[in-house]
Amino acid sequence: MSKITREPIDVIELSSRVEMETNGAVVSFVGQVRNHSRGQDVIGLEYEGYEEMAEKVMERIADEATSRWPVQVAMQHRLGKMQVGEVTVAIAVGSPHRDEAFEACRFCIEAIKSEVPIWKKEFGSDGSYWIEGENRTPIRLQSESVEGNDVPAVP
């Protein structure tokens, strides 16, 4: 139910995995590429991960959520290059009642952000940066010139 993918995430399909007749609530969280960051325009992102480990850690987070709340959890994180508006991560939590579903969903996204070994590179109007942690200064890429075709070249 938890996986890393390099394909676009199908949010509807993911939700359908936790839709059960006993569930009165399905809460989804969908993360997507924002067009700005730290006051600068963002053109696109690239996520890289320690894939072998990332999937294991995601499964552990889902297990933790289902042991704490009466929920079913499905989640996917996408790696690779993405443009503004594309879905980077999606979580679907199904539960008999909405409170548990909201709580468990919140838990999952926070745990993904702090525990799953995935990092993003931001390609923006002011250059390309590694983002490491939410509050640390971005680090400029050493190899800026080599970007793929699916993200517009950075001046």
Partner 1 sequence: MDDDDPSPAVKRLLGAHMPTAGGLANSLYAGKEIGCTAVQLFTSSPRQWQHTPLSDETIAGFKQAKSKTGIAFTCAHDSYLINLAAYDNTVLERSQRAFLGELQRAHELEIPWVVTHMGAYLDMTLEAGQQKLISSLKRLLEETSDLTAGIALETTAGQGTGLGYRFDQIAEVLEGVGPHPRLGVCLDTCHVFVAGYDIRTPEGFDQVIQEFDKTIGLHRLMVIHANDAKKSLGSRVDRHEHIGEGEIGVEAFSLLVNDPRLLSIPIILETPDADKMHAVNLAKLQRLAAAATMGMHIHVRLFGHYSESDQNDQELAVPSGLSVQKLTDILAERDPNLRDMASICRVAINEEYASLDTTLKEGDVVAFVPPMSGG
Residues that bind partner 1 in the complex, under the rule CB under 8 A: 31, 47-50, 52-54, 56, 77, 88-89, 109, 112-120, 130-134, 136, 139, 141-143
User: Shortest approach of partner 1 to residue 20 CB, angstroms?
Assistant: 26
User: Shortest approach of partner 1 to residue 110 CB, angstroms?
Assistant: 9
How far is the C-alpha of 91 from the C-alpha of 107, rounded, in Å? 11
Sign of CA dihedral 12, 150, 84, 2: positive
Nearest to 78 by CA among 152, 11, 148, 147: 11
User: Shortest approach of partner 1 to residue 69 CB, angstroms?
Assistant: 20
Token output for 9: 């995430």
Q: Which is nearer to partner 1, 23 or 32 (CB)?
A: 32
Q: Which is nearer to partner 1, 8 or 133 (CB)?
A: 133
How far is the C-alpha of 111 from the C-alpha of 5, rounded, in Å? 18
User: Shortest approach of partner 1 to residue 129 CB, angstroms?
Assistant: 9
